[in-house]
Amino acid sequence: MRNLTRASQQLFRRMPDECYPSLSVLVQHCRWQKEQSHELWQSPQALGTLPVDTNRLMLTAGDGHRLEMTDWSFSQLCRLAGVGKETVNRLTPDTADCVFRETLPRGNKPLQLFTQGSQLRSIHPASYTRLYNADILEVLAEYATDFEAPPKGANDATGLYAGEQDFFCFLIDPTGWADINGEAFAPGMFCWNSEVGRCSVGIQTFWFQPACANHIVWDALEVVEFSRRHTTNVLESLNEIRRIIESLVHKRDRRRDGFVRVIANAMKTKLGDDADEVAKALVGSGIPRTLGQEAIKIAEQQGSFTIFSLVDALTRLHSNLAYASDRVAADQKAARLLTLAA
């Protein structure tokens, strides 16, 4: 089992105006944002800056464009020029203008300016391929039809967020809860993207036990994750996200009874009557001896050598592994023990 903290991290960094009450409202907002945003291609020679008062710089581009910069697009401009944002922020607008005139690149490859009205949302090279938040959210709205926001967390945060840099969704299926020996499991997912290059596009699906008010997902099972950078083939992510959601829904519909039965059996079925017998069974299932001994100690403290308690102990130990690929491989090996309870 894994404890998932991605939604909790979002909860504590989002401002109230970035929270949305429902998926449909969030979809509507992102559709509007897509309609209002445009790509403007410019050569580096056409870019410049213009001091407009004692505190601000605007970006100038060809055809008389003057664009207000967001914090994110200003950061990108500084990286493009190879100057420190913190240093530039300490300069007067006139001096900062001189710095950019000396440092902005003057090559021939066009740059992609992403605008919304008179605001510059981002600057990217030609290799960047945009995937709109609205396009991803429409896939969620179409295929995750029974999913909705979780109960509100701390500060009335909803789990559905969108700001000038990215969006994030935490969704659960309230009809999918199953009571298993007094413990409840349900399917859920996280999904995220940035139109301006702030983060990758991705989705994570799982079966989980109730989330706390901090939106930490405890004891998640069957975790599936996909992410991709915004390069040439990023649009294919829509098909992969659709496939992952369909797989989760299919498992929910087809395997709900089987899932309940396997977990319930795993909570009752012992892997052995004593530590030595359990150790032999774990080694026989491909679990390293040292790791198995640690899991046995944890399960023994809980007073049970059931398959469920041992899988739970192994997953907790795997969380200490440094690399995600190692954690996933170890979790998959531990999860195969559940087949003994099928």
Question: Residue 142's pLDDT is what?
Answer: 94
Question: So what's the pLDDT on residue 193?
Answer: 98
- Quick check: 124 and 138 in contact, CB under 8 A? no
Shortest CA distance to 10 belongs to which of 200, 124, 154, 111? Answer: 154
Residue-level pLDDT at 277? 92
- Digitized pLDDT (tens) for each residue of the chain, 342 residues in all: 788 999 999 998 999 999 999 999 999 999 999 999 999 999 999 999 999 887 889 999 988 899 999 999 999 999 999 999 999 999 999 999 999 999 998 888 999 999 999 999 999 999 999 999 999 999 999 999 889 998 888 778 899 999 999 999 999 998 776 655 556 678 999 999 999 999 999 999 998 876 677 898 888 888 999 999 999 899 999 999 999 999 999 888 876 676 677 778 888 899 988 899 999 999 988 898 999 899 999 988 877 899 989 988 888 888 777 665 576 677 777 877 877 876
Q: Quick one: which H or E segment has residue 140?
A: helix 133-143
Residue 324's pLDDT is 52
pLDDT at 323: 62
Strand 119-125 relative to strand 65-69: parallel, antiparallel, unpaired?
Answer: parallel
- pLDDT of 255 reads 63
Return d(Cα 81, Cα 22) in angstroms, integer.
40
**Rounded CA gap, 255 and 300, in Å?**
31
Looking at this protein, which amino acid is placed at residue 70? T
Strand stretches in 140-182, DSSP E: 160-162, 167-172, 178-180
Contact call for residues 47 and 66 (beta carbons, < 8 A): no
Query: What pLDDT score does 319 carry?
Result: 76
DSSP state of 49: E
Q: What is the pLDDT of residue 31?
A: 97
